Structure 1
Amino acid sequence: MSDKLIFERDGHVATLTLNQPELRNPITDLDFVEAFVERCNDIQADMDIRCVIVTGAGAGFSSGGNLKHMRDRVGTFFGNAAEIAAKYRQGIQRIPLAMAALEVPVIAAVNGPAYGAGCDLAMMCDIRLASESAVFAENFVRVGIIPGDGGAWLLPRTIGMARAAEMTFTGDSIDAATALSWGLVSNVFPADGLMPAAWQLARRISINPPLQLRMAKRLLRESTHARLEDILELSAVLQGECHQTNDHKEAVAALLEKRPAIFMGS
């Protein structure tokens, strides 16, 4: 497992920390992609994990692409057009697919600049919290490329087409206050309050039954592209499954008995 990604766990909450602070935590290196996808698969398979926090080591969240590799045309950025396209499919594009397949709720704790693919990684998360020092930029055009990791799909669904177009076409950055007003993040905190706030939210999420959390996330994701009739049908099927679980029985009993519920994921 690459040391470019740190996995930690506390109870039902897992933390993924991008760990190349000297390079501002790029995510395009193939060994990082492999480690990130593997961790997503591990989390997906572990029913005891109920929430994930993604953050960056050091002063930044993620610079996105590895600029030194771009300059030197190595790794993902080496080869002719067809070879580079294949490397995108085999590399960075696996991250949005892994995140889309991950049924566990994910919080982005954006502790500093989130540029390019780093901005898009935040968009891949379900909830985004930001430090006052966070900066967001869909700045691919500034380095002569386009969003190659799904940003053109993610950003309009987060802040609307017009604002997504503005960020994409200008490459300009927005600060945390603007990100909050645009709905890109849910809340902004002082630097030393970001991770405590992320952990508090993660614990509020993780006290709930894991199967139902995953089903609820699936419904929300499906609702972005499905018809109402399809969502109602999926809701009926999943609701039928929920009513058969021990955790549903425990939740009802705990409410009636005025005590905390203990959920086992069954």
Structure 2
Amino acid sequence: MAYQHILFDEADGVTTLTLNRPAQLNALHVGVIQEMIEAVDRVRDEGSARCLLLTGAGRAFCSGADLAGGGAGGGGGGSGPPDAGKVLETHFNPLLERLFALPVPFITAINGPAAGAGCSYALAGDIVLASRSAYFLQAFVNIGLVPDVGSTWMLPRLAGRARAQAMMMLGERISAEQALDWGMIYKVTDADALMDEANALARKLAAGPTRAYALIRQGIRACLDLPLTQALMIERQNQLQAGRTADFVEGVSAFLQKRPTAFSGK
């Protein structure tokens, strides 16, 4: 499949998606999001990828919606008022939900600014690596809008309510180091080491117990808002599923035989 706005690469069980509008700082419009949805569905359905890595081309990860290209508008229909939330419903939110629902690990490598919706997609990664030149920005208030694409759900859980609310209401940049200190991301790297580290991590995950990874990522999100007793029930059901995988058999065998594991992802 040919893409105009993204790059799609597969190697060693890792699918790498690269936002590829560097002249526009990888700003998002409906065409970009539609290609991303199709690519993520391809990762989900084809079954050859065991890890997804998302990054951006050029000096930015993603500057958010392409305001010049209509990326923030959905139209109100007829002569009615505009509906700035329509495109969220039809494109931006379905992509976020697809990323959360993936049956494989999802890594983001943040090579530069991650603003607006780009900040949401950046922080949606199971593991987020950021270059020292990266920063995170909730810029919505600067144009009279409210945070979207899951920001008001994710950021308070990552950084805490006080920090998330200030970040959203003040519209200030959060550096990669500050994001690390706040617990928003996993690691900060030098710019020239970012993709080497991200690729090494992706290959490691691609060689691991894929179904267990899926249960871990689903279990964490399911349990975030649950009482302990319900969380324990989810863990119990997930362990039932994990214990029936071929990778569990392989992991125990490798441990007993004192040899490296050879997980198949099944």
TM-score (norm 1): 0.91
Corresponding residue SS for 2:107? strand
1:170-228: CA deviations, max 9, x gaps? 10102122111111221111110001111122222222111111112111121212222
Residue equivalent to 2:249 = 249
Distance across 2 between alignment mates of 1:242 and 1:75: 41
Residue equivalent to 2:73 = 77
What aligned pairs does 1:166-245 form with structure 2 within 5 A after superposition? 166-245=166-245
Distance across 2 between alignment mates of 1:78 and 1:213: 36
Q: Does 1:99 align with 2:99?
A: yes
Corresponding residue SS for 1:14? strand
Letter in 1 for 2:208: N
1:61-91: CA deviations, max 9, x gaps? 000010213xxxx465263346443332112
How many residue pairs are counted as aligned between the two chains? 261
Distance across 1 between alignment mates of 2:174 and 2:83: 34
Give the deviation of 1:143 after TM superposition. Answer: 2.0
Distance across 2 between alignment mates of 1:132 and 1:184: 14
Residue equivalent to 2:109 = 109
Distance across 1 between alignment mates of 2:86 and 2:151: 18
What aligned pairs does 1:23-62 form with structure 2 within 5 A after superposition? 23-27=24-28, 29-62=29-62
Corresponding residue SS for 1:93? helix
User: Contact (CA 8 Å) 1:140, 1:147: kept in 2 or not?
Assistant: yes
Distance across 1 between alignment mates of 2:257 and 2:195: 34
Identify unmatched segments of 5+ residues in structure 2.
none
TM-score (norm 2): 0.91
Residue equivalent to 2:15 = 14
Letter in 2 for 1:251: G
Give the deviation of 1:251 after TM superposition. Answer: 1.2
User: Contact (CA 8 Å) 2:18, 2:56: kept in 1 or not?
Assistant: yes
Give the deviation of 1:137 after TM superposition. Answer: 0.7
Q: Cα–Cα, structure 1 residues 134 and 257, in superposed 2: closer, same or farther, change >3 Å?
A: same
Letter in 1 for 2:64: G
Letter in 2 for 1:212: A
User: Contact (CA 8 Å) 1:2, 1:32: kept in 2 or not?
Assistant: no
Distance across 2 between alignment mates of 1:15 and 1:259: 30
Distance across 2 between alignment mates of 1:178 and 1:75: 29
User: Contact (CA 8 Å) 1:210, 1:265: kept in 2 or not?
Assistant: yes
Between 1:256-265 and 1:129-138, the stretch displaced more is: 256-265
Distance across 2 between alignment mates of 1:213 and 1:221: 13
RMSD: 1.8
Distance across 2 between alignment mates of 1:107 and 1:75: 25
Distance across 1 between alignment mates of 2:24 and 2:133: 18
Q: Cα–Cα, structure 1 residues 18 and 233, in superposed 2: closer, same or farther, change >3 Å?
A: same
Flag as ranges the 4+ runs of structure 1 deviating above 4 A: none
Identify unmatched segments of 5+ residues in structure 1.
none
Q: Cα–Cα, structure 1 residues 225 and 103, in superposed 2: closer, same or farther, change >3 Å?
A: farther
Distance across 2 between alignment mates of 1:192 and 1:209: 30
Residue equivalent to 1:147 = 147
